[in-house]
Structure 1
């Protein structure tokens, strides 16, 4: 028998289905020559500081730096009470260990995710008792479709070959523990007085905060400047009109309004001559295949209310349902070995498309390129067609499917025309530039019905005479940089700020070497979420800005290396090098442990400053929608979701302990409230009837005709639709 260890129960079920194993026992499946068991992600975790030494139970400055001589693991703690062991994890760990020891088990196969965390999860369980006597193999898959599972089991690799990946996972875990435990404790002791709230300090958390802080400061320090343009309207002999802007020394922006007004007077009633016509056909390639960061950026910028964390969770769900390939990838291309598989996937997904005759499978370097693949290929759909998707899954799945199909559509083409019109006067020559654009081939833009902004010009000819119809000086003001959104923040984290401009296209960004970044595709969303949770940043619509706490921390914290993108990028690059076998775990750990010890001393020696914390609830006053009673802002309070105009007498509120919902074992959530305010109805899953059965329904919250209070109404189909 061979024992397969999966990372999650859903993945174990996928493997069992692929092998047609139906028999389920307590904590595992069994059939034929396989036993399939599972973890729940991490079943073990690093010791807390107090587990090593009782004196670490309370934070005292003299106890730091604290770096264990030997790192130890324990069964993970209960999420509800960290002083207790998670009973489910302990039970499953016991089942796995007993299966490993079974006499008929000849070999162990780790089928955890093919990444640092997956390697760490599998190895921390398999080698928990020390060196393993039975041979251990690794199942390396990019998707959980039956065909891939069966092929993967025929092509196992020795788990020893995964040592560099394991070393990278252990290094990441240990350094984050050491930096977090030491610097969070010492910074809190140093900069908090009285009743303390922990100042969370982390290797990835702080440089990400600094990115947002720097943009906020740029905006604050921006000084707007007035500038002016001279716009002219011309008319041809055929009575066609077009416009042009006055250009001098390659600029169309001028500080002196009076000069432009004088030129406007001089050219009134004059004719112009077409001195240059430049027509060029240009190609527009589709954006590259999605990696996780680009997928998160695309969805969060296009769909209201989405966060990068939510995109990751939905993508992970699609992956576990065998519908997409591994989502936590940094690559925007596919391995060249996947050509035949990609052809098969494409054929499955285009059968019913109205433009299927335009789709042609090609083996291009933009799509299939080993040099642009880092561990995992880009995200694409699998050959399995979804039977049913919820609205969130549909958004993410459709984005991935469309991006894949685009790669095999014709290249979009347009013609760009640049025209120079000259007006000659006794005072000199005045040059006006015009630009037009016409889409010639729609190509891949058909997939998402992307509209091109055509700007038509008349069919102007060189030396043609035109008449000035009108001229006007317009006033403008320079604009500050835009606040970061999750999309732009992810892009800076992905490239560590290198060669980054918001207007750069995916092709340029796709060529930037991976490895030198802030965090990994798997952790960036979690970092942004944590920055919000601990009150360092806040979301205002799609914009991310620093809170007072976040600003004060950046300005006070003395370990500037930890705020530095370059430094953090080098740490991530070192982890990437360990993973590739190009660097040693021991040397990396020694360097970071020394850095941590030096940082602790630096904080201790720093001048005494208090960083006042604000209540986390106050920092998270996200506007959930418009009050149906008075039009005010609905925000989350301690006891309910209510109107900000409550002091003025508005009574609208949805209580968190609402009795109607409580009777059905539900509590209102931010998502539910947002949907109620936006659509007048919310689709709520998992309600419980009086006899204990689960059901789904549409709920609305409607004002009573007789008074100012609201009551719930339930329907089993959306209002206005047929049942």
Structure 2
């Protein structure tokens, strides 16, 4: 008898097949050794559109809302190019999966989709839509290495035990459908003039937009305040100079300039004395292991041109290639059961490093702590060492690898010295404070060559006499807060702003562990990208800024709960509580349905205001050259490609904008390139990217295949 395993993606199915030493690949599955391994392409099914339930919903009409289906149904997902049609690839793969499950020799179905809400419902919607009577099991893995796959197959759980995770996944999916469909439709009808993109309203979109809007307003309304500082330079008896800043009642910034001028006036006598000296040795622990938000924040702030969405895609690729553990995690520590595995990984990744002998493995509470793991452990490398990585993969892999190594390097230590110098004839409580810092033990800082800025003070003792040689009064102004970057925005989203000042605070940890957040690690990057794509925010350098449309929406949209971090945090926490069986899916959905009906009602009764006017300019269509296929038509630019305007007479020549060959080389066809091809038969294209991430230039031809109507690319390398 055989067992069918359903993986979330083809690459994961191949990892499972490799672990089971199965070579026999068929159309849409692998088979051998008592297993059939097939795959989805992420979601193969989606929720019905409103018009699928009721044809009157095909046209947006204010009277038809709120619309809440009596029961939710699923269909084959839509073609991304034409929403009205089914995705033929998804339909074909579903048919293959169903035929495999129905086979008489199949006794069991195993869902091997990602171990999270999304992965659970990807597998469950496929399996339960078929209404199979066969046993369904769940393979729950944090990495796809052969050892883990084989171990996981021995420790599977009945899928019925995953009901709370399924309920949370479905609760989130249905809630977002109801809020999105109703409020996007009603807001667009109410506040937008002209047809075009809808005014997107979403449970996670709006509070994220509000965080950026609030920071922009803070900066806009900021009024700088002037303050003053008094500094003096002193010389020891050995002739060494050092500087100190005047401090009174632990304050070194003064709004009253006259007060400092009086002190300056009284500093005619240069004699001074060392009133106090404090020397403290301080330990510096390495930053915690990465969860997804911290990884995205670290990479986007350190490397130019990276977005949180890109970091997630690269991390996902490393995960599917078996080089790192599951990336969509909120935890910054590891489960205690991973002690042995981590020791093995550490040994592998530190071999041959210049500081290899300084790495000492032990079961540290900062690294292994079950009480601080939320569903998945922190991201670490697996025991498999990468043979070849693209440049982007290298950046992310090395960050994750280094962060693990740091945990087991010596703790860095530095010495902080504080000298208090008092002017001999100055009758005030204030003293001049000088601070020094010397790194004593580099420790984990070696791993990423983190330089320490030492500030060495001269050697003095309490009661030593010194001489003041110079002093100056300076004027300063308070600075406005900085615009949010992806790093700072992710931090606020991760904890709804709780404990965000210190990434290791207990308050922040508690917020993450309770699920009190905006969105999940898996969806936050997508949310930021969507806000940019729909035009609510824009980026300037690394700063995120509200557009005029985003600003108008925040100021006009009347359902204020959707902008409220507390409200969103409570909803996300409720989903987390459903997973922990502290709340039911039914109660959560009733809450959402009531909220949506009330929100629709609120919008309907608001004043009619236009916050977005969609205007269209008719594009003049330029002919780029003569069609090489039919010679009758001209090649023009369309929305999805460069095609022949003689298509009505059957000419099928087209160069798609998402052409797979060019996409693999990280290029899209441009007007200039197409013009060159049509004119010369060849185009010189610069900055193509190889599989290894190297850049190169080449001449490209687009030639008709001799045995069919299709065209293929031919490439000739340039020296």
Aligned to 1:659: 674
Looking at structure 1, the residues matched to 684 and 112 of structure 2 have their Cα atoms a distance apart, in angstroms, of 37
Looking at structure 2, the residues matched to 194 and 40 of structure 1 have their Cα atoms a distance apart, in angstroms, of 36
Aligned to 1:472: 472
| Residue 48 of structure 2 is aligned to residue 84 of structure 1 | no
Alignment of 1:58-77 (within 5 A): 58-77=59-78
Aligned to 2:43: 42
After superposition, the Cα gap between the structure-2 partners of 1:164 and 1:356, relative to the gap in structure 1 and judged at 3 Å, is: same
Q: Displacement of 1:263 after TM fit?
A: 2.0
Aligned to 1:383: 383
Unaligned runs of 5+ in 2: 618-638, 643-668, 706-710
Aligned to 2:28: 27
After superposition, the Cα gap between the structure-2 partners of 1:349 and 1:302, relative to the gap in structure 1 and judged at 3 Å, is: same
After superposition, the Cα gap between the structure-2 partners of 1:549 and 1:686, relative to the gap in structure 1 and judged at 3 Å, is: farther
Contact kept? 2:196, 2:614, Cα under 8 Å: no
Helix, strand or coil: the match of 1:83?
strand
Q: Displacement of 1:590 after TM fit?
A: 0.4
Aligned to 1:392: 392
Contact kept? 1:423, 1:429, Cα under 8 Å: no
Q: Displacement of 1:459 after TM fit?
A: 1.3
Helix, strand or coil: the match of 2:397?
helix
Contact kept? 1:656, 1:667, Cα under 8 Å: no
Aligned to 1:364: 364
Looking at structure 1, the residues matched to 313 and 451 of structure 2 have their Cα atoms a distance apart, in angstroms, of 30
After superposition, the Cα gap between the structure-2 partners of 1:187 and 1:105, relative to the gap in structure 1 and judged at 3 Å, is: same
Alignment of 1:203-242 (within 5 A): 203-242=203-242
Contact kept? 1:639, 1:656, Cα under 8 Å: no
After superposition, the Cα gap between the structure-2 partners of 1:507 and 1:464, relative to the gap in structure 1 and judged at 3 Å, is: farther
Q: Deviations over 1:73-117 (max 9, x none)?
A: 000010000111100000000000000000000111100000001
Looking at structure 2, the residues matched to 302 and 580 of structure 1 have their Cα atoms a distance apart, in angstroms, of 37
Q: Displacement of 1:508 after TM fit?
A: 6.4
Looking at structure 1, the residues matched to 616 and 285 of structure 2 have their Cα atoms a distance apart, in angstroms, of 45
After superposition, the Cα gap between the structure-2 partners of 1:291 and 1:694, relative to the gap in structure 1 and judged at 3 Å, is: farther
Aligned to 1:329: 329
Alignment of 1:629-708 (within 5 A): 656-659=671-674, 683=696
Contact kept? 2:195, 2:614, Cα under 8 Å: no
Q: Deviations over 1:325-383 (max 9, x none)?
A: 00000000000000000000000001110001100001011100001111110000000
Helix, strand or coil: the match of 1:127?
helix
After superposition, the Cα gap between the structure-2 partners of 1:400 and 1:98, relative to the gap in structure 1 and judged at 3 Å, is: same
Looking at structure 2, the residues matched to 150 and 127 of structure 1 have their Cα atoms a distance apart, in angstroms, of 26
Looking at structure 2, the residues matched to 121 and 294 of structure 1 have their Cα atoms a distance apart, in angstroms, of 27
After superposition, the Cα gap between the structure-2 partners of 1:387 and 1:215, relative to the gap in structure 1 and judged at 3 Å, is: same
Looking at structure 1, the residues matched to 169 and 698 of structure 2 have their Cα atoms a distance apart, in angstroms, of 37
Looking at structure 2, the residues matched to 544 and 662 of structure 1 have their Cα atoms a distance apart, in angstroms, of 39
After superposition, the Cα gap between the structure-2 partners of 1:660 and 1:410, relative to the gap in structure 1 and judged at 3 Å, is: farther
Helix, strand or coil: the match of 2:463?
coil
After superposition, the Cα gap between the structure-2 partners of 1:83 and 1:684, relative to the gap in structure 1 and judged at 3 Å, is: farther
Q: Displacement of 1:181 after TM fit?
A: 0.2
Contact kept? 1:272, 1:465, Cα under 8 Å: yes
Looking at structure 1, the residues matched to 211 and 274 of structure 2 have their Cα atoms a distance apart, in angstroms, of 48
Q: Displacement of 1:696 after TM fit?
A: 8.3
| Residue 103 of structure 2 is aligned to residue 106 of structure 1 | no
Contact kept? 2:684, 2:697, Cα under 8 Å: no
Q: Displacement of 1:455 after TM fit?
A: 1.1
Coordinate RMSD, CA, aligned: 2.6
Looking at structure 1, the residues matched to 79 and 685 of structure 2 have their Cα atoms a distance apart, in angstroms, of 25
| Residue 443 of structure 2 is aligned to residue 443 of structure 1 | yes
Q: Displacement of 1:475 after TM fit?
A: 1.4
After superposition, the Cα gap between the structure-2 partners of 1:616 and 1:323, relative to the gap in structure 1 and judged at 3 Å, is: farther
Helix, strand or coil: the match of 1:161?
helix
Aligned to 2:539: 539
Looking at structure 2, the residues matched to 565 and 682 of structure 1 have their Cα atoms a distance apart, in angstroms, of 44
Helix, strand or coil: the match of 2:347?
helix
TM-score (norm 1): 0.87
Q: Displacement of 1:665 after TM fit?
A: 10
User: Paired residues, what number?
Assistant: 658
Looking at structure 2, the residues matched to 297 and 538 of structure 1 have their Cα atoms a distance apart, in angstroms, of 18
Contact kept? 1:538, 1:547, Cα under 8 Å: yes
Q: Displacement of 1:666 after TM fit?
A: 9.7
After superposition, the Cα gap between the structure-2 partners of 1:38 and 1:655, relative to the gap in structure 1 and judged at 3 Å, is: closer
Helix, strand or coil: the match of 2:419?
strand
Q: Displacement of 1:248 after TM fit?
A: 1.3
Q: Deviations over 1:98-149 (max 9, x none)?
A: 000000001111000000010000011111122x311111000000000100
Looking at structure 2, the residues matched to 426 and 377 of structure 1 have their Cα atoms a distance apart, in angstroms, of 59
Contact kept? 1:535, 1:616, Cα under 8 Å: no
Q: Deviations over 1:290-331 (max 9, x none)?
A: 000000000000001100000000000000000000000000
Aligned to 1:709: none
Looking at structure 2, the residues matched to 355 and 163 of structure 1 have their Cα atoms a distance apart, in angstroms, of 47
Aligned to 1:578: 578
Q: Displacement of 1:614 after TM fit?
A: 7.0
After superposition, the Cα gap between the structure-2 partners of 1:685 and 1:223, relative to the gap in structure 1 and judged at 3 Å, is: farther
After superposition, the Cα gap between the structure-2 partners of 1:263 and 1:89, relative to the gap in structure 1 and judged at 3 Å, is: same
Looking at structure 2, the residues matched to 665 and 10 of structure 1 have their Cα atoms a distance apart, in angstroms, of 35
After superposition, the Cα gap between the structure-2 partners of 1:540 and 1:87, relative to the gap in structure 1 and judged at 3 Å, is: same
Aligned to 2:609: 609
> Which shows bigger deviation, 214-223 or 252-261?
252-261
Looking at structure 1, the residues matched to 135 and 699 of structure 2 have their Cα atoms a distance apart, in angstroms, of 44
Q: Displacement of 1:638 after TM fit?
A: 13
Alignment of 1:217-616 (within 5 A): 217-425=217-425, 427-428=427-428, 430-501=430-501, 505=504, 509-514=508-513, 515-613=515-613
Looking at structure 2, the residues matched to 599 and 48 of structure 1 have their Cα atoms a distance apart, in angstroms, of 20
Q: Displacement of 1:499 after TM fit?
A: 2.3
Unaligned runs of 5+ in 1: 618-636, 641-653, 676-680, 698-713, 717-723
After superposition, the Cα gap between the structure-2 partners of 1:195 and 1:88, relative to the gap in structure 1 and judged at 3 Å, is: closer
Looking at structure 2, the residues matched to 439 and 312 of structure 1 have their Cα atoms a distance apart, in angstroms, of 35
Aligned to 1:2: 3
